[in-house]
Amino acid sequence: MSGKYSIKDLEIISNDIREDIIKMLFEAGSGHSAGPLGLADIFTALYFDILKHDPTKPDWNERDILLLSNGHCVPVRYATMAHAGYFERKELMTLRKLGSRLQGHPERQRLPGLENTSGPLGCGLSQAAGMSLAMRMDKQTHRWIYVVLGDGEQDEGNVWEAAMLCSKYKLSNIIAITDRNNIQIDGPTESVMPLENLKDKWEAFGWHVIEINGNDIEAVIDACSMARAIREKPTMIIAHTIPGKGVDFMENDYRWHGMPPGLMDVAGDPPKAEQAKVALKELRTLGGKIKSEAHD
């Protein structure tokens, strides 16, 4: 899909994806808000510009691989996949419902186009390493593996075991993206378990590191382009994002990490019954910067 859309087009798609995230979480009555909203720009860049993929042939042998390690953020992946044509958008409203293909954590065999099951945190990079080694054995060195990780899940030791392995075997077709939003379910990451200096740590583990604004779609595209030029080592893109991006009362508030709109009373926030409505209005008007238009 590379080159088909302008940056302005991609920004509009990303905002539409955020709207669907709010709708599906409100309908489900459970799920994670902050991370998926913050990741919308990265997933838009991946599905609509960066990845080699075909929604009509999700098992295409020449496709790039996208793994989501922090599986609780899967609403953003579902919404982006629907916009990209993997399934109809109306199915998004089945999120977390009994029998739905769209479970609260992704299950690979339920939905064509999902590459990994991710419930326990910290496993995505190990999955990427195994796939990369298998591709090397099959002489498929032209395919890329992208893996999105949370910052909080880097408290897990197996992330760093995988980091060492990827470096040792020079798995340069792995491009990892850390969603550096500085929150996790119990509070700010630097209070729960400090991660900084994260760039120095990944470099010490033998990775090429690029640091960007993860809510800048053009920066995401450029960083992935640079990463594909690196040989002999894997690349980590540290993408600084705003959790709850686009919804003023959610932005940078760790309490929205694992909470959908409509369930939590917070002083200064809209009342529970109004939260989804207020969030959608903010997204549709870009925080009041444009006139509100009719949406379905």
pLDDT per position as a tens digit, 274-291? 999 999 999 999 876 665
Res 141: pLDDT: 78
The C-alpha atoms of residue 217 and residue 18 are separated, in whole angstroms, by: 14
Domains within the chain, CATH numbers bracketed? 7-284 (3.40.50.970)
Task: Give the residues of the chain that fall short of pLDDT 50.
Answer: 1, 292, 294-296
223, two tokens: 């960083």
Amino acid at 283: L
The C-alpha atoms of residue 232 and residue 219 are separated, in whole angstroms, by: 23
CB distance 60 to 53 below 8 Å: yes
CB distance 127 to 174 below 8 Å: no
Tally the residues of the chain.
296
CB distance 18 to 283 below 8 Å: yes
Q: Which helix (H) or strand (E) holds 165?
A: helix 157-168
Res 3: pLDDT: 63
Res 290: pLDDT: 63
* For residue 70, cis peptide bond before it (omega within 30 degrees of 0): no
288, two tokens: 């009041």
Amino acid at 284: R
Res 156: pLDDT: 96
Starting at the earlier edge strand, list the strands of the sheet with 174-180: 65-68, 145-150, 174-180, 235-240, 208-213
Res 1: pLDDT: 47
The model's pTM: 0.95
